A and B are shown apart, each in its own frame.
Chain A
Amino acid sequence: MPLSVLAVDDSRTMREMLRLALTDAGFDVSLADDGEHGLEVLQGVTPNVIITDINMPVMDGFGFIEGVRRSTEHRVTPILVLTTESATDLKMRAKNAGATGWIVKPFDKDKLIDAIKRVAA
């Protein structure tokens, strides 16, 4: 069974890049446009790892992570925050919301894969 990943990002470009990088690495990829959409998608899929952007419309990454942690199905699914924000306080906020780890955009493909494997059970 290949690892499955849900990537949540409001940028079409970023979603496409993630899709390319992750499918190339042999992962099953689901995509969502924002936090709310991400939570909807999670009602239908059970990814091994979730990757999410922080700054998104409708529902941002913090809200999304909190939503995931509140769910029964995904409360311990690893969540990697993928964001251009490298500021420490944002990382801490993400962590307090329940994020497992973080990757700073623009991402290097191999390191993205490494990070996913690092947290994927």
Chain B
Amino acid sequence: MDSMADIKQTFFQECDDLLGELESGLLDMESGEGDSETVAAIFRAVHSIKGGAGAFGLDKLVAFAHIFETTLDEVRADRLEATPDVLSVLLRSSDVLADLVGAAQKDEELGEERTAGLVGELSAFVGASADASEEPAAVGEDIAFAPLGMDFDLDDAIGDLDGPEDTQCYTIKFRPQPELYANGNETVLLMRNLADLGEMQVACDESKIPTLDELDPEGAYLAWTITMHTSHSESELLEVFEFVEGDCELEISLDEAPSDTTESDLVDNEATPTGEEVATTDVEGASASAEDEVANKDNVVQLAEQKDKQKPAAAAKASTEKDTSDATIRVNLGRIDRLVNLVGELVINQAMLTQGVIDAGLERGDSVESGLEELKQLTREIQESVMAIRAQPVKALFQRMSRIVREAARATKKSVHLVMEGEMTEVDKTVVERLADPLTHMIRNAVDHGLETAEERIANGKPAEGTVSLTAAHRSGRVVIEVSDDGAGINRERVKKIALEKGLISPDEQLSDSEVDNLLFMPGFSTVDKVSNLSGRGVGMDVVKRAIQAVGGKISISSKPGKGSTFSISLPLTLAILDGMVVEVADQTLVVPLTAIVETLKPTPSDIHELGAGAKVISIRGEFIPVIDAGRSMGYRNEPVDPLHGVVLSVETEDGARAAVIVDTIQDQRQVVIKSLEENFGHVASVAAATILGDGRIALILDVDSIIAREGSARLFHETNLAATG
């Protein structure tokens, strides 16, 4: 049974895929992009779910999938037009279907009230023929485990109870048509199956065999007359011929004579046509058409042969490649994680080895050196391949959001259109999973708080239907996911007022627009006075921010009054390894993430400009950028180092803030394995994580964003603020 449990697991995985296809197909139809193939794919998805569910006896799922499928069949057959109303019901049905699958997976029951209403709506589309009273019967028929035509086990048992002595004598006249053979049926097998049902004598009629020159090799010339003593019924005998019905002349008659018929009677079948005729197959004109068909087939076969000759190599290749059915395998996540960890260790080990070789003082150009270089390349490739295993498109996550939008729109009575882009962008599986909650919250926020009511929108000259867009893209080594709405934008006056009331800011504080917007992320901030049943569940954007930070991401916000807001999440591609620049600051070794560094430079005296007491800016191509001394910022030294004696790392945060971080020297640029400090020690300001260097020492990885934030790039010019954060 273990294997069955495995297959059930496969079924639920497949359901996830199918539900995704179903939803994206329905959404395509909703946006007018769907064609007949879309409808067919949607139908197949529900159909496959129903098929699998039936195999596992998930009756509730089967019952709902059945009525859903029936409705989709109406759409597929163009008997039902896919109007917005119909699509709305279909979309909600796909939600319920997903819930039913989820419930089945957890061995739970979904309340009737979830399905009852939709079953009614779906049935209404199908029309009067599918009223509630007929439905259960139809479902029952489809979920029956007994395959049609194979269902004779039970009858066998009853037959046996009757005892073998209670036999009857049948005469079966059987003349196959050419189609019977063309369809892969075989007379000898039919005879064998028939023989299983009782004792029989067979007489072959060879009279129709023509002379050799008239003989069609694909023709059917033989006929048989079978006399059999059996305890089985006529219908059971007929079942043997079930597959060949229509491809033969068949006559089964019950011999009225007692079952002790002599053998001579049996052979002389023409003398016993007394029984009632049970089944005669109408084969009028069948022979002629069969010949035509055979002739046609011959032509086609020749064509097919020619075609085959043209591409034997390609075909052979394809068959070996796809022979083992699936191009994917399922792997336990634990195994992949172990691999990821091992690769991490490998990266460290390779760095240590490199260090060891340097320390050993080998000559340049030594073969060990080139070997090491190759090892480094390979290690990187292995690491990238392993990361690719963990990478998953955000599509599934995005599709869940379309449902959130629908639910939020219904709850707030707003009309909302969701636009998705970049669904195929791949992100680490863990990141995808941990994004679900924050993204859900952000989407709800966008619908609930971001978008205005239809009346307000119309009054402002906007279309009544609001748009929420969800996009994903790779941007400079990170994945950026954005949630935007075309709503009213952040009401900054109101935000300030609330922040003041909650004591988050002081009355005389001068805040830029961006700083006001960022107040939303402060703990304890909630713009909604009354807790709405949707997004305001006592969870604020600060929780979203923390969830994003927990996966190494950053969140920022931009908003234009009257135009809408955009929340932008920037995520690392991997949580395990990063490319870093190893630098030295006040005798400490630090690692700066390469993604943050725009450029490195040695400043000249004319580049440096003093701004008040202690604050400096550097001019890079005419742009003035605040200078931050990493050593002082990290508390390694009290006196700021002269920028002219160090190296400037021009860095940029996700939200575009720039700074010139002064370090003493640059040592190296390499991959480092991220070892979380928070898990093992605790959160340290300005430090993102730690890593182990090639020589075994531990180095801290700088959190550039938090350093810039702490230095308060916008307020850098106020010495008071510098002192307060230092």
Contact = CB atoms under 8 A, between A and B. Distances in A.
Interface of A: 10-17, 20, 30-33, 37, 40-45, 55-57, 69-72, 75-79, 84, 86, 92, 95, 98-108, 110-112, 114-115, 118-121
A45 B319 CA distance: 9
A86 B51 contact: no
20 contacts: A13-B11, A14-B51, A14-B52, A20-B4, A30-B323, A30-B325, A32-B322, A33-B322, A41-B323, A43-B315, A45-B319, A70-B297, A72-B301, A75-B301, A76-B182, A84-B142, A95-B247, A101-B185, A105-B54, A119-B186
Nearest 6 CB-CB pairings of A with B: A44-B319, A31-B325, A101-B243, A100-B184, A111-B150, A78-B184
Contact of B147 (A17, A95, A104): A104
B150 to A, nearest CB: 4
B51 A105 contact: yes
Contacts of B44: 10, 55-57
B258 to A, nearest CB: 31
Contact of B14 (A13, A70, A99, A115): A13
A33 B666 CA distance: 55
Contact of B301 (A70, A100, A110, A111): A70
A29 B10 CA distance: 19
A112 B55 CA distance: 13
B150 A108 contact: yes
A8 B142 CA distance: 21
Contacts of B304: 70-72
A111 B147 contact: yes
Contact of B55 (A17, A98, A120): A17
Contacts of A55: 43-44, 47
Contacts, number: 164
Given A100-B183, A101-B149, 6 more contacts: A16-B6, A44-B320, A55-B44, A56-B44, A76-B184, A84-B47
B193 interface: yes
A119 B243 contact: yes
Interface string B298-329: 00110011001000000110111011111000
B268 interface: no
A76 B50 contact: no
Given A98-B184, A119-B243, A40 B14 contact: no
Contact of A86 (B141, B247, B320, B325): B141
Interface of B: 3-4, 6-7, 10-11, 13-14, 40-41, 43-44, 47-48, 50-52, 54-55, 141-143, 145-151, 153, 181-186, 188-189, 193, 242-243, 246-247, 297, 300-301, 304-305, 308, 315-316, 318-320, 322-326
B243 A100 contact: yes
Contacts of A33: 322, 325-326
Given A40-B319, A41-B319, A84-B51, A32 B325 contact: yes
B51 A106 contact: yes
Max count, chain A CB within 10 A of own CB: residue among B3, B6, B13, B308: B3
B277 to A, nearest CB: 22
Contacts of A10: 44, 48
Given A76-B184, A84-B51, A100-B183, A13 B7 contact: yes
Contacts of A56: 44
A111 B243 contact: no
A44 B55 contact: no
B70 to A, nearest CB: 12
Contacts of B301: 70-72, 75
A20 B183 CA distance: 27
B64 to A, nearest CB: 15
Contacts of B149: 101-104
A14 B181 CA distance: 29
B659 to A, nearest CB: 52
A115 B147 contact: yes
Given A12-B14, A16-B10, A101-B243, A40 B315 contact: yes
